[in-house]
Structure 1
Amino acid sequence: MPAVKVLSVAVSSRARIQQDKDAAIELANAFDHKRDVPRDCRLGVLLRIALPRLQGSDLTLQDTEDALDLSIAYLRRVHLFSFYNGCVAASNISDVFRGNNATSTIHLRLANADIILEQTQNPGSTAKQEQSPKVDLLVQHLNDAIENALEESKSWDSSGPAYLVSTEIDSQAKDIEKDEARTEDVWIKNHAVIDSDGRARCSFHFCRKLFKDITFLKKHLLKKHPEFLKAERAKSHDTYMMESWDKQEQRPVPPILVDCGRVFSTVPSRVLGAVEPMAADPEPELWKRQEERRKQDEGGKARYERNYDNHNQLSNHGGPPAALNQPLLEPRGPRQNGFLDVDDMHEEKVEMAFEDVEVQVKPPKKKKKKLL
């Protein structure tokens, strides 16, 4: 989070708004020209869109103050430049986030600064009025910083942006942009089917839309199927990335496989050390973890057995186990043997007696007289 600081009374005076606004806009224009910011994204265009009355005759002091605030915010967010904190710029965005630079502080002006200034003045002394008014020390430092920044901005070379790492990287970036443009043209031609009448059809099997000409098809491909083009564009970076990797003297090394015996087989280990590369032996740590897991398993098994014994003792009130203490539901009879001797088999004859069986006789059918 950025720090918030309130400016002094003299710096917050409304008498400084006009000159501070002009200085901030001039610095922003110099930064935009130096770093080759697109013209549609520069501060002048943003001010015309946000404050249309800025160039008109009905300009108010509030419009001037809004223009100053917008210019200061633009300098801080786009160019990492602090206007009220010494007119200094941060070299990278990480310094702003970590709070290591003056740009990390957001400044606020006092709303009643002019009232406080009027109360502190002494209009009764004529001698002091005849002399030139004293300039506040903070105001003097701010004026000097703004003047130095404006003088430095006039000497900037506008041949190219100053935020690039090196000339080699700039050249590689331009080559990559050209490769991406060629890749885009080839990709569009490969995914366009031109009919005899000049109409163009999308060649994706799940789309197959028909358009008036290749221009409309190009817009369709870039808008509806950009994920396929993105993969082709990424291939333009592979050659430069591999060349950069080969030129680097200090680069990360992938982990190596360490043989940890028959139990653990090969385990990847990270390569450490700067002067003499070395890899830690992961086998002691693996044995330590396995021993901890074994102790946990044994402890869990012992707790389960203790809980099981305690449960049986509580259910029987200290007597024998519950399975032996239960009463028998049925008396025990002769022991039944389930063994069957195949050499001594007895056949049981089934006798059927029909002496006392009552069989119902079916009643005779009634005779029906035939009508003549």
Structure 2
Amino acid sequence: MNLIKNTFTGLVLITLGTLLGVVFTEVLLRALKQKPINSCHSLDIERIKNFNYSTKFKKYEPEKVMPICNNSDFKIFSKSNKDGYLGYSKKHQEPILVFGDSFAYGYGIQQDNTISAKLGAYNAGLWGKSFDDHSLVFQEVTMKHHFKKAVWFIYAPHLISISPPGWKTKNNINKKEKPFLYSLIAFFNTTEVSSLLLKTLGVGWNRTDYYTPEWSLFNKDSDRAKTGYKKFTESLLEIKTHALKKSIELYFLIIPSKNELRLLTGEPVPFFNIGKQLDANLPKKNLSSIILDMGFPKSSIIEVRDILKNGDEDLKNWEQYYFSNDAHINEKGSTLVSQFLDRILTGE
């Protein structure tokens, strides 16, 4: 009887000690964390959640103001045009189209300061969308407007997000069947402890970093992105066919993720990726190979990594070009990229 009692007491003490340890760690991490520059109001967050897309490939509702908010990096408002895109931002308009995902959109950057705005280009970027939607956007916009050149912003992690089972979501529990467990996990995913686990072990999800499956992009032995590469190839063929009909010269801007740059510069990888054959160059090599095999010239491929090297030769300070708590390029990085693109597109 005493053995059972002692065992139970021991388990209770261990559980309480673990909980207290987690709470102490969370308090410490929050105390050490940089304080937010901007604060997102609940109203802003609800407007982002409820912002309506329209059409079969879900572009934005025409002429709507949308808030883009990150608690520590930015809080901006963008407005869609009558086509449901950001479109042109300034009176100076060039026959250039920028399309792709949130990097093309200029996520986190004021509408008049995005890469497309600085180029005087038409912005048809859609955040949260991948290759097949990019193809549909390209075809629709080029039917309505005349362009001589177009730049497709390509972000390699979409090879994972578009591949089954896609990203591991932040909460796989059925909310209706297990509401308490769902709420518990949802709460844990807002903590700094969950962020620490993600970065050190490579498990979990948090608000500020891309999900763990991205590491499979750099693993030569993984076929996780196989479907993604297939869909990218199919979308590229559709875009090429339509571009030829419209006599549009295509360029491809390949954007490195934070994890790619971390791997490239020798930063420690999460625990569960230690010992794996990881190659930071693998995604860009595969994407470039597909583009070249499709008959495009090497000069049509522009690597943001090389552009960043112009500002930081060994890329040791690459973080200055990205938002600190978001995956996207910040205004400093966008300025560098737009200046380089301008020289390429104007032939100077």
Q: TM-score range by the shorter chain?
A: under 0.3
* Higher RCO structure, 1 or 2 (CA under 8 Å, sep 6+): 2
TM-score between both structures, scaled by the size of structure 1: 0.22
Higher Cα radius of gyration: 1
